[in-house]
Amino acid sequence: MSSIHALSAFEDVLTVSVEDIEFRLQGHTSIEWSDFILNPRTLRGSDFLMRWSQGVWSEERIVQAVNATNLYYAVPYGPSGTAPDHDVREFELYFERLDAAGLGKIKRPDLLVFRKNDQSVVDMIIDELGGLTELPFISEDNMKELLKKAIVAIECENSLWRAEQMPDYNTPMRSQKRLGGKLGLKKAAVLPTIIIKEQDLQPLQDWQDYAGVPIHIWHVFYDKAYGIALDEAQKLIREGLIEPTKHVFQAPNGATSQKVIYKFYYHYAYKLGHSQEEPSLVAKSITDKNGHILPYVAFSGGMLSLDNDVFEVLDELTNR
């Protein structure tokens, strides 16, 4: 399958795996997408609203956890963390502005992490750039002072799973014939993984090479979180330890596309954190211009506590 047209930044950020849509709607009668139009061209269906709110929630938990250490300081850097999160139309307009600025297709990490001791200097640099919400509209050429202070950039991912309850959690890797005898797990294994889209690998690598800031991918589950360096992820792919997987994704405008993703077993990752306080699931809704109410479920609250492993990683990055 392929998309009918090139997706805008707004549509791309809300793209959802068709597998996730089918799972959530399983057991329900068929619902026409046209019944859920919230504006003339975008955001149809609860899955996209949940995906949007879920991403915002996970980034907020990471920022909160990092800043609670009093050793490190995290701020949103990419558009997903600074876009308006209270209104769908404002969210869309934000990404339309990003496209108009020619920056909509640039892949930028979601967060930057600094030493806590540099917070006052970092805040001053950000203020001079126009504030956090303006960062996505400023090219890296004009953010060299900010990037020089960063010790690591974070690409955030999230999944609606309890990691410890996944069927193959704690299953050890064994020799796999399809991997030429290398260690791995069966193809159908269901376990915590860190997911990276193939289309994001090179853009993230290009950003890392240009900015001189290492990128790590931090994947948040309902109860746990894991991290892996982009360099390590690339190495696992080159060595044939992680295979590509094809998935069908659907955008809010209904267009579908087949994308290749890589799922990195948590065995290869470092422990990032665990839920010190679990989030609650709350009912929310949005009303369209015609008065049609669209309900969805969102994560609320909760607290992520960083594991000791991540402090070793951050300390090493600080002293690199």
In this structure, are residues 250 and 16 in contact, taking their beta carbons and an 8 Å threshold? Answer: yes
pLDDT of residue 55: 75
Residues forming beta bridges with residue 297, ordered by sequence position: 283
- Range list of β-strands (E), the chain: 16-17, 72-76, 111-115, 152-158, 174-175, 183-184, 193-197, 215-220, 224-229, 244-250, 256-265, 270-277, 280-287, 293-300, 303-306
Structure pTM? Answer: 0.82
Q: What is the Cα–Cα distance from 199 to 179, expressed in whole angstroms?
A: 23
Q: State the helix-helix crossing angle for 198-211 and 230-238, rounded to 10 degrees.
A: 130
Helix (H, G, I), strand (E, B) or coil at 82: helix
**What's the whole-number average pLDDT of the chain?**
81
Segment (H or E) for 162: none
Q: What is the Cα–Cα distance from 113 to 72, expressed in whole angstroms?
A: 7
Q: Is the pLDDT of residue 37 over 60?
A: no
In the predicted model, what is the mean pLDDT of residues 206-216? 95
Which of left, alpha, beta for 158 (phi over 0: left; psi -120 to 50: alpha)? beta
Q: What is the pLDDT of residues 52-106, one digit of tens each?
A: 677 778 888 999 999 999 899 999 997 766 666 666 667 777 777 777 766 656 6
pLDDT of residue 39: 44
